[in-house]
Amino acid sequence: MTEGLLEGKSVKRSFFDAPEGVDGHLPHWYTEARTAAWKDYEEVPWPKRKHEAWRFADLKKLAFDDIVDAAEVDEAEGADLITRSVALEENAGRIIFANDRLIADPLLDAEFAQKGVIFKPLSQALVEDTDLVRLSFMQEPARLGSVKFAALHRARLRDGIFLYIPKDVSLSRSVEVFHWLSGENAAIFPHSLIVSGPGSSAAIAEYIASAGRQPGFCGGVTDLVAGENSRLTHVRTQNLSEQAHSLHVSSSLAADGANIRAFVLNLGCKWSRSESIARLSGEGAGTDMLAVCIPEDSQEMDMRTLQLHEKTHTTSNLLYKNALYDEARTIFAGLIMVEEGAQHTDAYQTCRNLLMSDQCEANSMPGLEINADQVKCSHGSTAGPITDDELFYLRARGIPESAARQLMTFGFVKGAVDGIGHDALEKVVLEKIDRRFRRILS
């Protein structure tokens, strides 16, 4: 058994073994980086709340030392999880993992495979497409506080997905990725590397969920790389056990004229933290950063963002909406940074919090750092309850108070969901949100 994994007390050498199914033929650059990452993890100090990047965070909820390497699920549980891996009515492809191990053969529509689309486990791509993977794999540093945990992810990574869309190829349907966490105090480290060639487009849906209600840890990383004039839409939903902990680091890189739209739905976990970096490195690049969090009981959801404008005529729009219940807490810290020479930047940042109890707490820290003089930037945050007038309007029309509150809250978060701009994905997200509200109000 591994003891004190997060605290770095000890670790099995098996954590550094090659992922299953690749016969140990991993590229040298990858194995070297993996070994160095564990050293970095041990050397980087544990974050402290006094650090600005961890301000307001309750680190006591993360610092537990009982997690173990997630074991392979048995055949019966694997079959059950495959049955439960249903979301979109139609997709272009699907991959299912349980405890970072492939449990169903990857599926990709033959039409897209013939056009050169690559959709496979990362462990396989490291061997078969190593040069392509190396160009984009974890190239963005963890700028928002989680250097230690990004190193842990690289050191412990077992598998993930690699999606590559060649030049001028468009996926007419979304691809889906399911990551299941199973077992008492099990730890997984899912990774997604998604690269779009010039003029291409694709939509990807990722679902991270627990098979049961046990505590556990998920340390994930997502890399989105959009080539010139390409379009990427990425939706990630997190519905882990409310005894679990999650820390996810996402980065996106948009070239000239590219657009990346990233949406996150946070429902589960006792404690979760999401760090999202959007780099607009090409002229005319754009990004939409969207999120919905619905914490209840004593859940804490921590969100840190960076909108980094490096070139001229770039645009970014961030909209985060949180609906808090009971004694839940949210933290939002966002920064719009405009580099020198990034003239004609157009950037917005908005975090809105709907307080559904007198005990919940929303902390927001929006920020601007502007080093150019021809820009249009704004940021802001609001927090407040549903007003008596809003409730009266619905109750006067015969709607019970509990149903009226649900309608108001659903309408509040739907504004962020609408920004996905993809009907099928919006439907999946809204169904998950609706189930959450029905459970809260039951």
pLDDT tens, position by position, 404-429: 888 899 999 999 999 999 999 999 99
Confidence of residue 79 (pLDDT cuts 50, 70, 90): very high
Region 212-226 average pLDDT: 96
How confident is the model at residue 440, as a pLDDT?
Answer: 86
Look up residue 225 and give its amino acid.
V
pLDDT > 90? residue 252 = yes
pLDDT > 90? residue 395 = no
pLDDT > 50? residue 4 = no
Return the DSSP state at 170.
B
From residue 399, give the alpha-carbon distance in Å to each of 312, 396, 404, 434, 441.
50, 7, 6, 17, 14
pLDDT > 80? residue 19 = no
**CB 296 within 8 Å of CB 268:** no
pLDDT > 60? residue 20 = no
Element (H, E) at 408: helix 401-417
Q: In whole angstroms, give the CA distance from residue 50 to residue 56.
A: 9
How confident is the model at residue 7, as a pLDDT?
Answer: 46
Region 209-219 average pLDDT: 95
How confident is the model at residue 429, as a pLDDT?
Answer: 98
Place of tokens 């730890």: 187
Element (H, E) at 37: helix 28-43
Give the range among 1-5, 108-112, 126-130 with minimum mean pLDDT.
Answer: 1-5
Give the range among 1-10, 204-213, 368-377 with minimum mean pLDDT.
Answer: 1-10
Region 59-65 average pLDDT: 75
Element (H, E) at 388: helix 388-395
Q: In whole angstroms, give the CA distance from residue 95 to residue 112.
A: 15
Query: Strand locations in 37-188, DSSP E?
Result: 68-69, 93-98, 101-108, 118-121, 160-165, 175-181, 186-188
Query: Would you state the structure tokens that stand for residue 152, as one six-digit string?
Result: 């842990």
**CB 234 within 8 Å of CB 224:** yes
Average pLDDT, the chain: 92
Region 168-177 average pLDDT: 97
How confident is the model at residue 61, as a pLDDT?
Answer: 82
Give the range among 3-17, 31-45, 125-139, 146-160 with minimum mean pLDDT.
Answer: 3-17
Query: Would you state the structure tokens that stand for residue 294, as one six-digit string?
Result: 């619905």
Region 186-209 average pLDDT: 98
How confident is the model at residue 24, as a pLDDT?
Answer: 61
Region 290-301 average pLDDT: 97
Q: In whole angstroms, give the CA distance from residue 341 to residue 190.
A: 37
How confident is the model at residue 325, as a pLDDT?
Answer: 96
Give the range among 36-45, 307-316, 352-361, 390-399 with minimum mean pLDDT.
Answer: 390-399
Confidence of residue 6 (pLDDT cuts 50, 70, 90): low
How confident is the model at residue 211, as a pLDDT?
Answer: 97
- What three-state secondary structure class fits 294? coil
pLDDT > 70? residue 313 = yes
